[in-house]
Amino acid sequence: MAGLDELLYKADSYKAEIDKKRPFKDIDSLKKLQDFYRVDFTYTSNALEGNSLSLSETKVILEDGITVGGKPLKDIYEAVGHALAYDYMFSLVQRDYISVIDICKMHELFYSMIDSCNAGKLRKENVYISGSRNNDKIPEHVNLPAEMGKLEGWLREDHEKIHPVLFAAELHVKLIQIHPFIDGNGRICRLVMNMALVQNGYPPAIIPPVIRAEYIETLESSWINSQPFYKFIAQQVIETEKDLMRMLRIPLDANGNSRGSARFY
């Protein structure tokens, strides 16, 4: 696999090619991008957490407003709530940075139909990540206001100091390690990460359920070494860019490179 610097260079090369077709700062282009990924991102992010809805079922629920028979009501609520949080995410892309209020609002939108009492609120009890080797490092609930305050300080001060893809990946790492909510932390982390990417002109990083094990393992290892997770997210950004380039009819060679990109593979 390519090194991190190579992956970032490739992601930037693809972004440059895409920007020639669709300037991401243009409101109309942002709306089209939003619509294009709304169903796919909702499906994949929920599926990573065990939601049983298929891509086509998610599409029917979100676009046609039709419920799917035989599916748990919670799974349907997760699809609708995630789409609402996703729409809110895109409403903030012109902002300079992400705030704790924004993060809590996303959780409120996602979780309100599932548990209105805890939606958008920092957890009031300690939690554990199933299968994690790092549960002893998750902050106790009494420390959450201070931890989220430190996160917002980092968001304000460092959002322009780090490569945008690394910033988005590190934001995911920091937020998942705080684990601020009683449930739904993974989905909110991916929403917030993708908000940071879109704010900087990149498409969302879509993580297919088929590579869930790699995603979980690199995220788990980030407690000690974040480099594998950085590379994982950079690769997902590249794959999403390639999908968007195909849609925009930007030529890719047999190795998946654009004509203007470096040939690393």
Helix ranges, 60-184 (H):
73-91, 100-111, 144-158, 164-178
Catalytic residue among 82, 107, 172, 179: 179
Question: Cβ(112)–Cβ(81) under 8 Å?
Answer: yes
How far apart, in whole angstroms, are the C-alpha atoms of residue 187 and residue 189?
5
**Long-range contacts, stretch 70-76, CB < 8 angstroms, 24+ apart:** 74/114, 75/46, 75/51
Distance CA 65, CA 63 (A): 6
Q: CA 204, CA 39: separation in Å to the nearest integer?
A: 12
Does residue 159 have an active-site annotation? no
> Phi and psi dihedrals of 128, rounded to 5?
-135, 140
DSSP 136: G
3-state secondary structure of 199: helix
Residues identified as active-site: 179
